[in-house]
Amino acid sequence: MAKEARKARFIPIKFNLRPYKALMMEKKICLACSAGGHLAEMLQLREFYGKHEHFFITFRRADTESLAEKEKVFFAELPRRNPLATAQSFFQCLDILRRENPGVIISTGADIGLVACIAGKLLGKKIVFIESFCRPYKPGISGKIAYKFADLFIYQWKELEQYYPKGIFGGSIF
């Protein structure tokens, strides 16, 4: 697809991934995200991922423990920009991804979401990264890193187009 056509394209985030059907038709989807707002963003995509076999990778907190009562959830160490915790989290994600063998990983970011994406990419998985809604003017650290290797990168604010020229503007997830 030409760069110009890609930049002009709009995908309503409620969630039209039909153009990427081959990417999304995998038998199993991993949903990797941090707790709190990143999880709230991911849950907005339920209409899409609910049609597929799926599981979550996140860390333990009240909201994710509650999610685990209804969904298949794997808990990993919270990286918190700590090198040792990040390494532990990375190997936990590798183990989970090898056992579950998803075809695609969708992440709304940060911390554990990015670590799971990196582990997944090393295992040859397709990566869909959605830059956080709370980043209207400048990219977040997770987004900057994921943009370099994601198979599909979606940003939610038009103002981020200059930072993510190969990404796709998807509009608000909310």
Angle between helices 112-122 and 83-100 (to 10 degrees): 50
pTM recorded for the entire structure: 0.85
Q: How far is CA 142 from the centre of its chain?
A: 10
Residue 174 tokens, joined: 């909310």
> Which tens digits make up the pLDDT trace of 134-165?
788 899 999 999 999 999 999 988 898 999 99
* CATH architecture of residue range(s) 27-169: 3-Layer(aba) Sandwich (3.40)
Predicted pLDDT of residue 11: 43
> Which tens digits make up the pLDDT trace of 51-103?
899 999 999 999 999 999 999 999 999 998 899 999 999 999 999 999 999 99
